[in-house]
Amino acid sequence: MTPDFLIIGAGATGLATALELADAGADVAVIERGQAGQESTWAGGGILSPLPPWAYGDAVNALSDYSRALFPDWCADLRARSGVDVELRHTGMLILPPHDTTTATTWCEAHGWRWTTRDSGDFLPGAGREALWLPDVDQARNPRLVRALRGAALARGIRLLESTEARALRVDGDRVTGVDTDGGPLAAAACIVAAGAWSGILPGLDGFGRRIWPVRGQMLLFQCAPDTLATVILENGRYLIPRADGHILAGSTLEDVGFDKSVTTEARASLLDFAHRLLPALGPDNLTGQWSGLRPGSPDNIPAIGRHPRLANLYLNSGHFRYGVTMAPGSARLLRALIENAPPPIAPEPYRPE
Ligand SMILES: Cc1cc2nc3c(=O)[nH]c(=O)nc-3n(C[C@H](O)[C@H](O)[C@H](O)COP(=O)(O)OP(=O)(O)OC[C@H]3O[C@@H](n4cnc5c(N)ncnc54)[C@H](O)[C@@H]3O)c2cc1C
């Protein structure tokens, strides 16, 4: 049966979009080159906030704020459908100096974000420093989010075709008719490109305006006692993220190396140094993992969400760069509204693909 929507890419963006459209009554299929969610979505840190929000423009914060607010209900719904707890946690985020306190606090006051100053010694050992505390920053646990999204999609009757690679869009005039895959052609009434960092290189997708490119990020994982760290720590763009079971992530790098997903000894040394300096409990002895992921980079971190400028039944939901987990439910809702010609939940103009 020809689906109403064929979505290319089963990361957080593609699966959130699939669920949104299936809940609206559409017949949805998703094709995924590998296994669902194993690329950037699995690799990310799951901090639900720009780092920090005042470093970004209104377009990033409008979508991020809208989407963050959806998380409690979204995660509860995913759990009910899949049985998987995403581990949405209200751990807050402590921002260590250097930062411009006036800019930060002025921004927080203007945008309704709660803040206070805290002594870093409240969370980290050693001499305390005055730091900025954002109590309302949440986090989700990425591998669990992947399992929850995949389980929810299957439970909803979405056809998930894993190990299926889109090779090219099939285009006839101003419409797409489907996708050529490594398993043969698939027809579709409409297509949605949610292929993350690979969205810009799909043959047939030329000329949608926004550039999307891969930005490698490397992470380290440590195993500690569960109460080692109580909050996310951010310092100069790098962070520590404590999970409920005592795992702590240290990240991340921002590297322009194309589609190369290797991990490097330089990144390991640099992240290890950062982590150990902030929290001496983190060292080579309890380092249990290193990995990398390719973020879908986009100018100013602004994703492309909406109809393709030339192809009437082709849509994009991609280019979420550093905040694709944060923005997943909000981007899916926004795209659904645009497809249905319903009033959009936030102003859609900044995200228009053209
Ligand atoms: C180290 C790191 C840390 C991060 N930290 C955070 C954070 O703290 N908070 C946050 O909000 N975000 C974070 N991010 C960013 C976030 O993870 C991404 O923005 C988000 O996962 C993008 O989701 P996506 O579904 O668009 O892309 P992906 O998860 O990459 O999914 C795209 C999917 O499309 C598939 N695909 C590609 N091409 C094809 C094809 N031709 N045919 C079929 N399938 C195809 C891929 O296999 C992949 O599964 C981080 C990312 C990294 C790498």
Q: In order of start, what are the domains of the chain with their CATH numbers?
A: 5-85+142-212+299-351 (3.50.50.60), 93-138+213-297 (3.30.9.10)
Residues 219, 220, 223, 229, CA torsion sign: negative
Provide the pLDDT confidence category of residue 207 given band limits of 50, 70 and 90: low
Report pLDDT digits (tens) over 277-291: 999 999 999 999 999
- Select from 39, 221, 327 the residue to mutate for testing ligand 1; criterion: most ligand atoms less than 8 Å from CB: 39
Residues 6+ apart with CB under 8 A from 289: 219, 220, 221
Question: Which residue in the block uniquely carries the two structure tokens 């299957």?
Answer: 154
Question: How much distance in Å is there from the Cα of 20 to the middle of ligand 1?
Answer: 18
Question: How much distance in Å is there from the Cα of 101 to the middle of ligand 1?
Answer: 32
> What one-letter code names the amino acid at 136?
D
Report pLDDT digits (tens) over 117-172: 999 999 999 878 999 999 999 999 999 999 999 999 999 999 999 999 999 999 99
- The span from the CA of 215 to the CA of 301, in Å, is 11
Whether residue 214 is predicted with pLDDT greater than 80 in this model: the reply is: yes
Report pLDDT digits (tens) over 336-345: 999 999 999 9
Question: What would the mean pLDDT of 5-31 be, rounded to a whole number?
Answer: 98
The confidence score (pLDDT) of residue 54 equals 96
DSSP letter, residue 13: H
Question: What would the mean pLDDT of 176-183 be, rounded to a whole number?
Answer: 96
Provide the pLDDT confidence category of residue 211 given band limits of 50, 70 and 90: confident
What residue ranges line ligand 1, CB within 6 angstroms? 8-14, 31-34, 39-41, 43-47, 165-166, 194-198, 202, 217, 219, 251-252, 293, 295-296, 318, 320-326
Question: How much distance in Å is there from the Cα of 196 to the middle of ligand 1?
Answer: 5
Which three-class secondary structure state does DSSP give residue 187? strand
- The span from the CA of 77 to the CA of 152, in Å, is 9
Tokens of 353: 């693909």
- The span from the CA of 291 to the CA of 259, in Å, is 14
Strands (E) across the chain are located at 5-8, 28-31, 93-95, 116-119, 130-134, 159-161, 166-172, 175-181, 184-187, 191-193, 213-223, 232-235, 238-242, 247-251, 287-297, 304-307, 314-318
Query: Can you say how many angstroms the Cα of residue 167 is from the centroid of all Cα atoms in its chain?
Result: 24
- The span from the CA of 267 to the CA of 94, in Å, is 23
Q: Whose CA is nearest to atom 10 of ligand 1?
A: 323
Question: How much distance in Å is there from the Cα of 124 to the middle of ligand 1?
Answer: 31
The confidence score (pLDDT) of residue 206 equals 72
The confidence score (pLDDT) of residue 128 equals 86
Question: Which residue in the block uniquely carries the two structure tokens 């047939």?
Answer: 204
Q: Give the CA dihedral 60, 140, 132, 124, nearest 10 degrees.
A: -150
Report pLDDT digits (tens) over 44-57: 999 999 999 999 99
Report pLDDT digits (tens) over 277-328: 999 999 999 999 999 999 999 999 999 999 999 999 999 999 999 999 999 9
- The span from the CA of 152 to the CA of 146, in Å, is 10
The confidence score (pLDDT) of residue 27 equals 98
Over pLDDT 90: what percentage of the chain?
94
Provide the pLDDT confidence category of residue 209 given band limits of 50, 70 and 90: low
Question: What would the mean pLDDT of 192-213 be, rounded to a whole number?
Answer: 86
* Higher pLDDT among residues 102 and 354, named by residue: 102
Whether residue 350 is predicted with pLDDT greater than 90 in this model: the reply is: yes
Question: What would the mean pLDDT of 7-15 be, rounded to a whole number?
Answer: 98
Report pLDDT digits (tens) over 222-236: 999 999 999 999 999
Query: pTM of whole model > 0.85?
Result: yes
Provide the pLDDT confidence category of residue 204 given band limits of 50, 70 and 90: confident
Whether residue 208 is predicted with pLDDT greater than 90 in this model: the reply is: no
Q: Where are the alpha helices (DSSP H) in 134-197?
A: 142-155
The confidence score (pLDDT) of residue 28 equals 98
Question: What would the mean pLDDT of 214-219 be, rounded to a whole number?
Answer: 98
Question: What would the mean pLDDT of 84-102 be, rounded to a whole number?
Answer: 95
The confidence score (pLDDT) of residue 158 equals 98
Question: How much distance in Å is there from the Cα of 268 to the middle of ligand 1?
Answer: 21
Question: Which residue in the block uniquely carries the two structure tokens 């659904």?
Answer: 336
The confidence score (pLDDT) of residue 173 equals 93
> What mean pLDDT is reported for the chain?
96
